[in-house]
Structure 1
Amino acid sequence: MARTTGSPGPRALPVRLVQKVSSTRLFARLAPRVIPPLDRGVHRLSGGRVLLSARMLPGVILTSTGARSGLPRRTPLACVPQEGGGWLLIGSNFGRPAHPAWTRNLLAHPDATVDWQGRDIPVTARLLTGAERAAAWRAALALWPPYAVYQSRVEREIRVFRLTRREPDRAAGAREP
């Protein structure tokens, strides 16, 4: 996805406008109820080809295992793609007080799958801390400055995860003779 760099182009104003709107408290109240279900529905209807929120930010559909239920949980999320593969996920929860449920799921069950550009990719998640988290946080802010507003609203430290590709479980794909 093209990002605005240097001089403002035709997409610069919409990105800045969306960033400003997404920094409001009203957005933080409404977005979690509207954006994920809309993203999931459009993604399903398009056969995995379209993720509406990815029009502004790169995005994945994370399939994690529920921390308590053990059931698969599908969550559309903005991400920061990493050179050489992998992604950063930011647990901002739109600047709401609690950590999002998907972060608890990854802490309990770090092996997950992301749908990236229509392909399911097995990944392992790792919660970042210290200098590694600080560097990842800077990369996230460079992509989406409203994360700083979200952090300023909450007392918790927003969780940042690095997802790395893993080899698919061969046993899971094996068939009985």
Structure 2
Amino acid sequence: MADPHAFNEAIVEEFRAKGGQLGGNYEGEPVVLVHSVGRKTGVLRVKPMLYRPHAEDTNVIYVFASGAGRPKNPAWYQNITSAGRITIEVGPETYEAEVRELKGDERDAVFAAHVGDYPRFADFQAKCAGVRLIPVVELTRI
């Protein structure tokens, strides 16, 4: 299996070189770069991920801690929710964002809408069904 850090680094480089646009498998998809500092390591990581824009508020986006359906939440999720405030890159802009995990009906509605556009997220949820519910995190520009 290819090194996931090297894979992510290549995406980050392309994202920054092209002002937030990506080609290949991610062409036309909304991708955000999420900066997180490891709670245990203190290491800054930049993770590219698919996001969902808020239907009305351009200052709000949602990210999904799918981990491709793995049984545990990804480390970045724990890191950003404990931090409460992070840096993100959307298109050519870099800014601070407040972090809030969605719960209950609010979470379910955003996740369902995302699955409607990206059915693979339903597959991810099916893989970890009975173990965890994929968290949905709201990122609001500060």
Q: Structure 1 residues 135, 81: CA separation in 2 closer, same or farther (over 3 Å shift)?
A: same
Give, as a single letter, the amino acid of the residue that structure 2 aligns with 1:50.
Answer: Q
Give, as a single letter, the amino acid of the residue that structure 1 aligns with 2:48.
Answer: P
Q: Partner of 1:7 in structure 2?
A: none
| Superposition TM-score, scaled by structure 2 size | 0.84
**Larger Rg over CA atoms:** 1
Q: Partner of 1:16 in structure 2?
A: none
Alignment of 1:18-167 (within 5 A): 32=4, 35-44=7-16, 46=17, 48-52=19-23, 54-82=26-54, 83-85=56-58, 86-154=60-128, 155-166=131-142
Identical columns (%) = 28
Aligned CA RMSD, in angstroms, stands at 2.2
Equivalents in 1 of 2:122, 2:73: separation in Å? 16
Query: How far did 1:36 drift?
Result: 2.2
Equivalents in 2 of 1:34, 1:139: separation in Å? 31
More strand per residue: 1 or 2? Answer: 2
Pairs aligned (count) = 137
List structure 1 segments (4+ residues) > 3 angstroms apart after TM superposition: 29-35, 47-54
More helix per residue: 1 or 2? Answer: 1
Which ranges of structure 1 fall in alignment gaps of 5 or more residues? 1-28, 167-177
Q: Structure 1 residues 94, 32: CA separation in 2 closer, same or farther (over 3 Å shift)?
A: farther
Give, as a single letter, the amino acid of the residue that structure 1 aligns with 2:123.
Answer: V
- Confirm or deny: 8 A CA contact 1:80 1:143 kept in the other structure: no
Equivalents in 2 of 1:98, 1:110: separation in Å? 20
Equivalents in 2 of 1:134, 1:30: separation in Å? 33
Equivalents in 1 of 2:66, 2:2: separation in Å? 14
| Paired residue secondary structure (2:112) | helix
Give, as a single letter, the amino acid of the residue that structure 2 aligns with 1:113.
Answer: T
Which ranges of structure 2 fall in alignment gaps of 5 or more residues? none
- Confirm or deny: 8 A CA contact 2:20 2:90 kept in the other structure: no
Query: How far did 1:139 drift?
Result: 1.7
Query: Higher relative CO (CA 8 A, sep ≥ 6), structure 1 or 2?
Result: 2
Alignment of 1:162-177 (within 5 A): 162-166=138-142
| Superposition TM-score, scaled by structure 1 size | 0.69
